[in-house]
């Protein structure tokens, strides 16, 4: 009888421990797979793809947003990622590819097993993004988004800061949101570029809700005042939690609206040191 009681006691203790662990995990602000935008390691991939992926794996990263790497085929790249437990939920595509509705986008996504296709730049002259550029982008994005949806993919536009120029009662970014078809066009927030353009990440997440599907987790150096250029020196990318972003509230809202894929992007020249520091910050949230 005593043995049975001890067994019952330890069973209850095990269940309680498991429930506590699950509760702690669910209460964490950031409890998603650690992802990275491949551009972060742009200086490493050309030297050795396998070593770069080894280093990414060692950092605890299990998702990557990428368009592949020079020197290996997409099939080879996919196998290298699979061998390291790294999934590819999202790929990049150029504006010109979207305009042509290139089948190459679909082919690459299928090889990688990606569900999302992102575009991070709308061509425009100089540093001035105009309403004409925005209107053209709306047309391109709607058509490309329809084409991609028909092929089982979700298109996401990644604003880059220049879209925050005032227009009517909002901005040119508001114009793009309001005039694209939600059925075909979604968005990926890059927190640094929203801040650099003068936007508020928390307000934008709340305003457009589940049209945001992906996020570039990226922080802007304190004291930097941005503009509408879509450009900033590399040293203005800083370790998460040391810059201007209000990550606690950003993640509270992004969690609520259902964003599930987050990619750390660090354009500084110290990514081997700063990315692990950013990951540690996310673990503690």
- pLDDT value of position 16: 47
Tell me: do 202 and 221 sit in the same domain: yes
Question: What local confidence, expressed as pLDDT, does residue 58 receive?
Answer: 98
70 and 12 within one domain: no
Same domain for 150 and 20: no
Same domain, 14 and 40: no
Does residue 140 sit in the same domain as residue 237? Answer: yes
Which residues, in sequence order, are CB contacts of 47 under 8 Å at separation 6+?
none
109: left (phi over 0), alpha (psi -120 to 50) or beta: alpha
8 and 141 in a single domain? The answer is no
Structure tokens at 83: 């061998």
Could you tell me if 134 and 16 lie in one domain? no
* The pLDDT value given to residue 137: 98
pTM above 0.85, yes or no: yes
Question: Is residue 171 within 8 Å of residue 164, measured between CB atoms?
Answer: yes
Cα–Cα nearest to 89, from 115, 57, 68: 115
Domain count, the chain: 2
Whether residue 10 is found in the same domain as residue 41: no
| Nearby residues of 62 by Cβ (< 8 Å), 6 or more positions away | 33, 34, 35, 85, 86, 87
What is the reported pLDDT for 22? 39
CATH of the domain at 104: 3.20.20.150
Domain identity same for 154 and 13: no
Domain ranges, residue 275:
33-284
Same domain, 278 and 185: yes
| 27 and 37 inside one domain | no
User: Do residues 86 and 164 share a domain?
Assistant: yes
- Residue by residue, pLDDT tens for the chain (285 residues) are 455 554 554 454 455 455 444 334 457 899 999 999 999 999 999 999 999 999 999 999 999 999 999 999 999 999 999 999 999 999 999 999 999 999 999 999 999 999 999 999 999 998 899 999 999 999 999 999 999 999 999 999 999 999 999 999 999 999 999 999 999 999 999 999 999 999 999 999 999 999 999 999 999 999 999 999 999 999 999 999 999 999 999 999 999 999 999 999 999 999 999 999 999 999 999
CA 280 to CA 191: how far, in whole Å?
18
């Amino acid at each position: 009888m005593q043995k049975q009681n001890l067994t019952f006691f330890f069973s209850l203790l095990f269940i309680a421990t498991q429930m506590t662990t699950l509760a702690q995990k669910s209460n964490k602000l950031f409890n998603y797979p650690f992802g990275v935008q491949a551009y972060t390691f742009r200086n490493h991939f050309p030297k050795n793809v396998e070593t770069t992926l080894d280093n990414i794996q060692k950092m605890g990263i299990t998702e990557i947003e990428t368009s592949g790497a020079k020197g290996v085929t997409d099939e080879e790249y996919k196998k290298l990622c699979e061998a390291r437990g790294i999934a590819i939920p999202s790929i990049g595509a150029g504006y010109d590819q979207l305009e042509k509705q290139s089948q190459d986008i679909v082919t690459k996504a299928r090889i990688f097993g990606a569900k999302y296709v992102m575009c991070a730049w709308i061509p425009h002259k100089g540093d001035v993004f105009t309403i004409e550029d925005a209107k053209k982008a709306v047309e391109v994005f709607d058509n490309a988004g329809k084409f991609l949806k028909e092929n089982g993919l979700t298109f996401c536009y990644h604003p880059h800061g220049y879209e925050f120029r005032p227009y009517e009662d909002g901005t040119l970014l508001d114009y793009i949101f309001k005039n694209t078809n939600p059925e075909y066009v979604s968005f990926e927030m890059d927190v640094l570029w929203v801040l650099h353009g003068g936007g508020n990440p928390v307000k934008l997440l709340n305003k457009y809700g589940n049209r945001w599907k992906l996020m570039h987790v990226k922080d802007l150096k304190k004291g930097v005042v941005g503009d509408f250029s879509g450009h900033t020196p590399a040293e203005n990318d800083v370790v998460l939690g040391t810059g201007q972003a209000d990550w606690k509230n950003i993640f509270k809202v992004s969690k609520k609206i259902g964003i599930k894929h987050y990619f750390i992007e660090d354009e500084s020249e110290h990514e081997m040191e700063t990315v692990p520091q950013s990951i540690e910050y996310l673990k503690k949230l």
